Structure 1
Amino acid sequence: MNITTAVMVQILAVGAGATLTMDIWRFLLLKVFGINSLDLSLLGRWVGHLPHGRFFHAKIAGSERIKGELLLGWITHYGIGIGFAMMLSLFWGAAWFASPVLLPALTVGLATVLAPWFIMQPAMGLGVTAANAPSPNAVRLRNLAIHLVYGLGLYVSALALNWLIASIRFNL
């Protein structure tokens, strides 16, 4: 598949916008309900250990800290969000960005939950689908919710980008 520069910019903007939507959701969960759903320093710690050949941790919170792990976690978080946005063009074509539809965005959002369930959570010591967490079903529900929010963010971000592009063209 040949992805043009314009499509790459759309993927970048929509992926970043969807990830920002997740972050706004996470912020609201924390401020309104006191729920801290994701510690990005732990994500950075996990990624920081990868170059040293350490993929699995008994408990990532107990693993040695990595210098700059919070920044690395934020960069990784947005990189993953942008990378997952590429699934829209791969499965629904680049035309999806010009004419976004909600169902494909929600489908991608829901599909992205497979990465934490089957890669990150086991690697960080939580087990497959957070089976080793103190409240696995609560974690799973939060995972599903935040990934659906990501999917909604894909859709809303694509709409916003189209509005912005149309506004710029109209004013030229």
Structure 2
Amino acid sequence: MDNPWRWFSCALAIGIGATALLDAWAWSLRRFGISSLDWCLAGRWMGHSPRGRFVHESIGHATPVKGECLLGWGLHYASGIAFAALLLALAGSDWAQRPTLAPALAVGLGTVILPFFVMQPGMGAGIAASKTPDPTRARARARLRSLLAHAVFGVGMYVSSWIVAASLP
């Protein structure tokens, strides 16, 4: 796949598809009372960064930012696209024509680094949610849910890649 536009189109489709599958997963968990990240709060965190504020005591208590929900959801999908581009860069752009599960799952699980070491500390929850008020056992369950969600994202990149591969001439 030497065409940069085609490469970008694949990353776009794979990233959006995988992120949508992750959102479907989160939606299904909410039906059982299991919550996931509030993308509006992620948008608030991101909205404060141009002002030089990257770390908050508690993002929930930070001043709301105009358009924070749109910003948060945009960040969510832009991250999915960027991670799909990373997958194509690591696995080779031809991978999209003959996808295999292992690279997609490895990149999907690897993406948990960003929330554990950047977003959660920046939003006031500490590294891997270490500052949350939950008991140790509940914190461990939250970390496991996060790893599982990122595995779902990896599977979503694999499934989306098959859809993309089927549509390539």
TM-score bracket, shorter-length normalisation: over 0.9
State the one-letter code of the partner of 1:108.
V
Give deviations 1:61-80, integer Å, cap 9, x for gaps: 11110111111111110001
CA distance in structure 1 between the aligned counterparts of 2:117 and 2:95, rounded to whole angstroms: 28
Shift in CA distance, 3/119, structure 1 to aligned 2, threshold 3 Å: farther
Q: Percent identity?
A: 45
TM-score in terms of structure 1 length: 0.92
**Which secondary structure does the structure 1 equivalent of 2:65 belong to?**
coil
- The gaps in structure 1 that reach 5 residues or longer are none
CA distance in structure 2 between the aligned counterparts of 1:161 and 1:112, rounded to whole angstroms: 21
Aligned-residue RMSD, C-alpha: 1.2
1:163 deviation in Å? 2.1
The equivalent residue for 1:16 is 16
The equivalent residue for 2:38 is 39
Shift in CA distance, 109/3, structure 1 to aligned 2, threshold 3 Å: farther
The equivalent residue for 2:155 is 152
The equivalent residue for 1:138 is 141
**What are the equivalent positions in structure 2 for 1:22-101 lying under 5 Å apart?**
22-31=22-31, 33-101=32-100
Number of residue equivalences: 164
CA distance in structure 1 between the aligned counterparts of 2:167 and 2:4, rounded to whole angstroms: 19
CA distance in structure 2 between the aligned counterparts of 1:163 and 1:48, rounded to whole angstroms: 38
Shift in CA distance, 3/84, structure 1 to aligned 2, threshold 3 Å: farther
TM-score in terms of structure 2 length: 0.93
- The gaps in structure 2 that reach 5 residues or longer are none
Runs of 4+ in 1 over 2 A off after TM superposition: none
**Which secondary structure does the structure 1 equivalent of 2:42 belong to?**
helix
**Which secondary structure does the structure 2 equivalent of 1:67 belong to?**
coil
